[in-house]
Amino acid sequence: MSVSTEASQAGVATIEVSVSGGEAKSFPSGITAREALRECGIDGTEFFAVSVNGIPMDLAASLTQSGSIEPVSFSSPEGKEIYRHSSTHIMAQAVKDVFPSANVTIGPAIEEGFFYDFAFERPFTPEDLEKIEARAHEIMKADLPVKRLEMSKDEAIQFFENKKESFKVEIIKQIEDDRVSLYQQGEFVDLCRGPHVGSTGQVKALKLLTSAGAYWRGDERNPMLQRIYGTSFPSQAELDDHIANLEEIKRRDHRKLGKELDLFSVQDETGPGLILWHPKGALVRLLIENFWREQHIKHGYEMVYSPHVARLDLWKTSGHVDYYKDNMFAPMMVEASEYQLKPMNCPFHIMVYKTHLRSYRDLPIRYGELGTVYRYERSGVLHGLMRVRGFTQDDAHIFCRPDQIEEEVRKVLDFTFFVLGHFGFTEFELYLSTRPEKSVGELGKWDQATNALESALKGGGFSYKIDPGEGVFYGPKIDLKIRDALGRAWQCSTIQIDFNNPERFGLTYVGEDGKTHQPIMIHRALLGSIERFFGILVEHFAGAFPTWLAPTQIKILPITDKQAEYAGQVRDQLLAAGFRVELDDRNEKVGLKIREAEKGKIPYMLVVGKRESESHQVSVRKRSDGDLGAMGIPDVIQLIGKDMPLNELAPSSIQR
């Protein structure tokens, strides 16, 4: 006899529950999610949690309301988060077992893994991590049941005070609810909302990766904690694949390659988060910027330049002082007025718009600028080129009529795919971000702008996801993420609708009816930060830039001094043909020259020996293909020219 039949005969209150969109069934109120799945014939071994009416819960949770259940496994984003958050508890228990004096703080799941912060008297060493990981594996093997507990706030505070866990006490005191939940496995108990796996044995493969310092709550005024990073997977094979991928990520790290290839540096004397571009890196950046400017002019944009500072009043008018102050450097006094290093370019473009009376016939107006901005990022989050304090945005602002929004957004999307396609990116993810909790403007205008963005996405046939509440304070936006060679997603491009600043700055145009109207402003960036995009390119290509972007495209390698004169003639011919060429005429063995050129990621190496000199040829080596044999200079020019296509990918050729 089934549980539901027994309940019905006994007169117990019942609820109606459907599993994975199936037919609803009656169950006694209070049945656990695990029992409900079993009654529906679903084997729960591959699942470790459920989503009940959209709310994640433990398999042991009691069901008291009718609704729908979705089993949760590692294959879903929610499942990965639950699995890895459970892994943080295993790691925290291991830390407490190995180092009882350590205090626990917080330990969330993150993309591809998890971390936990501990208050400990010294940094954790690699040897410490080995001991902690070994203990974690013992906890997993013990297959300890994971149980949910509930207490009043006062009881929980007393519980953790008895354990001398002051950080947990601080967290509990800031919780608004009268009751809190805790999770227990063996002797270890942690404050947590949950849900979690049913037992520690459900975590099959776990690896601790590294440790680092981190301030409590991310504030440098607070105590320094010791953070341990790790990851976990349902199988050792998946974990091994992930570790191999992490090793490849290390090999491609733009900071490592930037130093090896002499592209850029960050120096203490200059200041954290401020980039010094070395000649080779600066040349690649110049090529990127030249392409950007040429294509923007072709696509109807006008170039502008703006200063690096402005009166603070400008940022008060724009709303940045109210909504962005924590990310701005402190103002400076100039002749009794406060001036601000610019965190954005947009107010300057607005001021350019205001210099003339505009007609509806003038719109849309598109201003583009590679504008350097400055933002106060905390030292703990600075990361090479990816997170800096001074960077250049590939910025543009479009001023248009409300009826032009959809068409302009669609043009920006197509332009974005073309530009990113030129750099070898063809896989994208699109997100429509809606009104955040902290925002300005009328709801009607938000709806109008959001609908225009959605219509542009649908009209262009683009697949996208809704990102609720992630718009900027002045309007909704479309964010575009690219996938690199390792499958990682990077957010570069953004398209933002702004009806707030045109109102704040009193922007107008004369309509067809002879009356003044307010234009709509579209903020957009295609590459995002030039610095960050450069870092992404370095890692995407593992430092081996395509020929058109390589700072040195060709290196000529004479075997002996006797071929130096002919090698110089070859260099001059290739320079005249427009290539970037270097001549390595050092008195070194050619094998060493080849190895160094390969290490420098040079696309083409031209070896010149006695035979080549006499036949007026060169022996061609290509970075990716090896020895291509002897060729005359005209053939070399034609070969390398074919390796530098414009690569103008039409939108239809890119995955949408």
E strand or H helix that includes residue 298 = helix 279-298
Q: Is the distance from CB of 172 to CB of 53 less than 8 angstroms?
A: no
| Token pair for 230 | 């790790």
| Token pair for 132 | 């902690």
Q: Is the distance from CB of 90 to CB of 203 less than 8 angstroms?
A: yes
Residues designated catalytic: 346, 375, 393, 395, 397, 477, 523
3-state secondary structure of 494: strand
Give burial (CB, 10 Å; 0-12/13-18/19+) of 630.
middle
DSSP classification of residue 329: P
Q: Is the distance from CB of 226 to CB of 123 less than 8 angstroms?
A: yes
Instruction: Measure the CA angle with vertex 438, ends 436 and 441; round to 5°.
Output: 85
Q: Is the distance from CB of 414 to CB of 642 less than 8 angstroms?
A: no
* Closest to 197 (Cα-Cα) out of 183, 179, 182: 183
Residues in CB range of 254: below 8 A, 6 or more apart = 384, 385, 386, 534, 535, 536, 538, 539
E strand or H helix that includes residue 207 = strand 205-215
Rounded to the nearest 5°, which phi and psi values hold at 551?
-60, -40
Q: What is the spatial distance between Cα 318 and Cα 347, in angstroms, rounded to a whole number? A: 7
Q: Which residues pair with 50 in a beta bridge?
A: 57, 71
Crossing angle of helices 279-298 and 530-540, rounded to 10°: 110
Omega before residue 195 within 30° of 0, cis: yes
Q: How many residues does the chain have?
A: 656
Report the greatest alpha carbon distance in the chain.
Answer: 103
Q: What is the spatial distance between Cα 347 and Cα 523, in angstroms, rounded to a whole number? A: 11
Long-range CB contacts (< 8 A, 24+ apart) of 322-327?
323/438, 323/440, 323/473, 326/376, 327/375, 327/376, 327/377
3-state secondary structure of 631: strand
Q: Which residue has the tokens 């601790």?
A: 208
3-state secondary structure of 574: helix
| Token pair for 162 | 């008895």
